[in-house]
Amino acid sequence: MKIGNLSVLAGLIGRQTVKEVDVIIKNGTILTMDPHQPLIEKGFLCIRGDTISAVAEGDPEEFRAGRTIDAKGGLILPGLINGHTHAAMTLFRGLADDLPLMDWLNHYIFPVESRMDREFVRTGTLLACAEMILSGTTTFCDMYLFEDEVAEAAQVAGMRCLVGEVLYDFPSPNYGPIEEGLRYTESLIKKWQGHPLVSIAVEPHAVYTCSPDLLVRANQLAMRYKIPLIIHVAESASEIEEVRKKYGRKPFEHLESLGILGPHLIADHCVHLDDAEIRRMVIHDVKAIINPESNMKLASGISPVPRLLAEGITVGLGTDGCASNNNLDLFEEMDTTAKLHKVGAMDPTVLDAVTVVKMATLSGAKALGMAERIGSLEVGKKADLIVVDTHKPHLTPMYNPYSHLVYAAKGSDVSHSLISGKLVMEHRKLLSLDLREVIGRAEEMSKKVLSWLVPSS
């Protein structure tokens, strides 16, 4: 065979060894959040379909993709997970600030919510999805009204979500009496079963707004379909007192007496806990989602997060809704979480940066029952990830990437977001939603909110 033919054959063999993928993200420091390979200083990541197919050091010379994203030396990490929010409450942002929790709920939030409809919730959720994608969140867990609209909006935005209709003893503006609420929840479960992005949970509001019978029936529904049960627990001192007066027990003690505690239970807030309540969480493997900025703003207190972590409890991070936080930026939440607990303990070593980033990624995924799919950048997991542009004055120099993410970075530093392998933001441009249209619809809806608060003359 002639030398020329040998060269052609070698070229053909070389081309055959090239691996075809859909997306390559290269030239970045990868924070995998995988305990076995936590950080790759100069690496690349490949995506085939909706799944991560390679994570490695160096250059992706053996791979070829239809789209290549150059991280330009920035950070590549799992998309952030907002473990607890009320997405449509973006339309209540700044509506009733500087009020106690019960005053805020009973005199502003509940009255306005009684006037809401499907369009209102869809509009507010689309606004929330835009805000979350633009600030690096790829998954959120929602509790609110008209949750089918929340799921539909998340699907349009291309976001991953765990959602559930809020259930309580009084009539809902969505489903009416509680019997219909349980039926509505079951219809959500059946409609969205097996969806690649949307998952459903059963979500009674709280111990003080739900009768024991409702809590038991909600738990039975969750157990029947093997899905999470989510509830606000021990958020305020007034809640603790109200539950004690009603049932003679503390919140987790009450839930335990009803046979509800278990690894499927996700407890939001978890602020006012004593040793016995924490012990119940440990025994039953209850998951916790903390919401420090909301609890600070409403003066509800500080969750004993270092103690929860020391006891081995899975703790994720949430923003709560925009009426009690004012934004959905998990970068701000990470910063607040770390600093709040340091000053609370008077110990600068409490809640180090790595721990806090884990709370917003892998631990959040574990809390929501999604750790097999998301939360870390590993081969076989879904391709939910973000790129952080570190070529900014406030991010220069960078000695420790985890520290930068918690104490220096902002949501606006995220340049790219991918969810299930699909690019939903590129170079700060939102691709899955028309941002101008979303904001315009939200501004129109805010006029309705004002009319609901101010009686017509």
Which residue type is seen at 27? Answer: N
- Could you say which residues of the chain have pLDDT below 70? 1-16, 454-457
Q: What is the architecture of the domain spanning 3-78+377-430?
A: Roll (2.30)
Tokens at residue 308, please? Answer: 């929860």
Nearest to 290 by CA among 51, 2, 81: 81
- Predicted pLDDT at 456: 43
- Using the Cα atoms of residue 193, residue 197, residue 202 and residue 204 in order, give the sign of their dihedral: negative
- Grouping H, G, I as helix, E, B as strand and the rest as coil, residue 286 is coil
Give 283's contacts (C-beta < 8 A, 6+ positions apart).
261
Handedness of CA 140, 419, 158, 263 (dihedral sign): negative
Q: Tell me the pLDDT tens digit for each residue of 315-351.
A: 999 999 998 899 999 999 999 999 999 999 999 999 9
Taking residue 97's Cβ as centre, other Cβ atoms within 10 Å add up to 13
pLDDT attached to residue 455:
52
Q: What local confidence, expressed as pLDDT, does residue 454 receive?
A: 60
Res 418: pLDDT: 98
Distance CA 224, CA 14 (A): 54
Enter the pTM of the model: 0.95
Going 324 to 203 to 374 to 66, the CA torsion angle's sign is negative
Q: How many CB atoms lie within 10 A of CB 398?
A: 16
94 secondary structure, DSSP code: T
Question: Per-domain residue ranges for the chain?
Answer: 3-78+377-430, 80-367
For 34-85, the DSSP string reads -TTS-EEEEEEEEEETTEEEEEEES--TTEEEEEEEE-TT-EEEEPEEEEEE
80-367 folds as: TIM Barrel (3.20.20)
What pLDDT is attached to residue 101? 72
Alpha helix segments (H runs only) across 114-201: 118-134, 147-157, 178-192
Q: Are the folds of 3-78+377-430 and 80-367 the same?
A: no
Q: Could you tell me which residues come within 8 angstroms of residue 306 by beta carbon, excluding any fewer than 6 positions away?
A: 341, 345, 350, 351
